[in-house]
Amino acid sequence: MILRPVYAVIEREVLKLFRQRTRLLSAMVRPLIWLLVIGAGFDAMLGRSGNLSYQYFLVPGVLGMSMLFGAMLAALSTVYDKESGVMRMLVIAPFEHYWIVIAKTLSAALAAAIQALLVLVLLFLLGYLKNGVVLPLLIAGIVTTSLVCASMGMLIAAWTRTLDNFAVMMNLVIFPVFFLSGSLYPVQHLPSVLRFVATINPYTYGVDLLKHAILGIEATSFNADFSVPVNIAVLLGFTLLATVIACLRFSRDTAYEPLIHLLARKRSD
């Protein structure tokens, strides 16, 4: 009964992803820039290479980054749907409105996972995935990180009514989430305040799981910070919690009414 509508939302998202070439291209190029410019730059400065290089440490972080940006942009397209009026098609259809949140979360996660796979292929071709990638952990990492990023994005989208706030969101949410996540430095080496922030940042656990999958198990100072079960529990727990909150927010009549108001009178103002 609800499968076709959910599929409809996912199909539309994937269709748009492959139609927006620049979005796809920048999703591929952005991680590479970090890896090649920041990573290689640090290594040149510190004179390190191989398994202990900073560039190598960055690999899980840039893979996570492709999902963070991919999922956030897809989830925030919900706001665009509100503004452009496409949301009308969704709210008038005969299912509970929280399904819109669930379908959008799934489609944003899928869009993120697709972009992560493309980046993964690129990383492989460039030789960044060498010794012993743990495949099951990598798959688990991509699935859970995509979901956590998508549900974070939906949480924001449920509270955002216009795209004017979009740039603000990017700067105030995506970048802090990325910088304070252990993507660029091991969490255990951060000053205590930043370490605390990184610990409550759910995205940290996604990157950490990817570190387990990609960096291997040898004891280095670049190791993962948390155990695999902790990572997965936090990631799934946050996804569930965020989705429930976003659903509640979206289904509440009073919360919804201003949206219809906005839809009905946008151009007349």
Partner 1 sequence: MRRDIVDTSLAIQAEGLTKRYGNTLAVDGLNLDIPTGQFFGLLGPNGSGKTSTIHMLSTLIRPSQGTARVAGHDVKHAGLQVRAAIGVVFQESALDRTLSVAENLRFAGLLHNLPIAQINERSSELLELFGLKEKRHQPVSELSGGQRRALDIARGVIHRPQILFLDEPTIGLDVPNRRNIWRFIERLRTELNVTVFLTTHYLEEAVDCDKVAFIKQGRIVKIGPPHDLIDSLGAYIIEIEGENLSALIASLSPRLGPCFMDGDKACFRFTGKDIASLVMLQAELGDKVTGMRWRRPNLNDVFLWVNETELWQTRKT
Ligand X SMILES: Nc1ncnc2c1ncn2[C@@H]1O[C@H](COP(=O)(O)OP(=O)(O)O)[C@@H](O)[C@H]1O
Residues contributing to the site for partner 1 (CB under 8 A):
1, 4-5, 7-8, 11-12, 15-16, 19, 84-86, 88-96, 253, 256-257, 260-261, 263-264, 266-268
Nearest to 113 by CA among 67, 65, 168: 67
Q: Taking CB positions, which residue lies at the least distance from ligand X?
A: 261
Quick check: 166 and 79 in contact, CB under 8 A? yes
CB of 258 to ligand X, least distance (A): 6
Nearest to 160 by CA among 201, 104, 111: 104
Residue 105 or 181: which CB sits closer to partner 1? 105
Residue 24 or 236: which CB sits closer to partner 1? 24
Partner that binds at residue 21, options partner 1, ligand X, none, CB closer than 5 to 8 Å by kind: none
CB of 117 to ligand X, least distance (A): 43
Q: Report the distance separating Cα 13 and Cα 28, nearest Å.
A: 18
CB of 42 to partner 1, least distance (A): 40
- The CA angle 246-165-169, to the nearest 5 degrees, is 65
Residues that bind ligand X (CB under 6 A): 261, 264
Residue 45 or 92: which CB sits closer to partner 1? 92
Kindly state the helix (H) or strand (E) to which residue 150 belongs, with its residue range: helix 135-159
Q: Report the distance separating Cα 68 and Cα 77, nearest Å.
A: 14
